Amino acid sequence: MAPFGLVTASVGLLARSFNLILLVTHAAYRNPVKCLSTEASGPPKRPLNGYMRYVLQQKPVIVSQNPELFDAIRKLAQEWKLMRPEQKQPFEDAFLREKEQFKIDLQQYLAQLTPAELEQQVLEKRQRKAKRKAFRKKREATVMGKPKRPRTAFNIFMSEHFVEAKGENTQAKMKTLLGDWKKLFGNQKQVYAQLAEDDKIRYKNEITSWEDHMMEIGRGDLLRDKTLVSQRRKAAEAEKAKKKKREAAKKLAAAKAKSRTVKKTKSTVTRVVKKTKKT
């Protein structure tokens, strides 16, 4: 199987995150409050917490001992977890000091903004919050065993031929495989297209079963957005149908009551007429 997919994506993300840490290492000590700001006049960024300070301090030693990225990160996390509170205290104290400075800088920054800029800040904050929420949802759904999305025909072809593909790195191999894919005849691609269709059926069955299970254990919040939208639409349609049924029942009851009233009135009139004739 090819060394790409979810694992490779995670590696890439961690690598980019780790590189970002390295880029801001020196800036973090020069200006701890605005060390991650992209603009000189931009908003102050939150200071690094105690753990991240420890990572930056220990990074040269750990990386030299563990060249692999995952091994280095895992080693740092384990060491931090095993440290005594008094060992963590210097890092935490530095974070708290800069946190107070961050609050002052933030107030000064907000005071100079126009109403339109403040509104833009609120909008951006809301967008960042929604993005973090979506990321947490995706991560938790993965932990809860959410089925993997179906692969395309090209993905299946690439996974089968990745190992023997020419190229010194993943990007070069993928480029080679793309060229090989384009050279395939229609009947050759059809084999992979059929496998992709089978995988779609697999995914549809698995995701339906998984979402049913999530509903059973009270984790409906992990359902796909389109499933949630579909459920809300069905609930709205059911409520509309119930409302329509209630209104029909009321009309029927009103009609029956009116009919009884009419019959009662006619009966009363008939009795009066008969009594009048007798007299």
Identify which has the larger pLDDT, 211 or 39: 211
Give the CA distances from residue 188 to residues 160, 184, 239, in Å, rounded to whole numbers and listed in that order.
14, 6, 51
**Tens-place pLDDT, residues 184-238:** 999 999 999 999 999 999 999 999 999 999 999 999 999 998 998 988 898 889 8
Does the pLDDT value for residue 181 go beyond 90?
Answer: yes
Kindly report the pTM of this predicted structure: 0.56
The domain limits of the chain are: 6-112, 153-221, 228-278
More confident residue, 38 or 144: 144
Q: Which of 47, 55, 49, 50 is nearest to 27 (CA)?
A: 47
231-234 long-range Cβ contacts below 8 angstroms, 24+ apart: none
Domain 6-112: which CATH class? mainly alpha
Domain 153-221 belongs in CATH node 1.10.1740.10: no
130-144: pLDDT as tens digits: 999 999 999 999 999
pLDDT at 26: 40
* Res 31: pLDDT: 38
* CATH fold match for the domains 6-112 and 153-221: yes
Rg, the chain, Cα only: 34
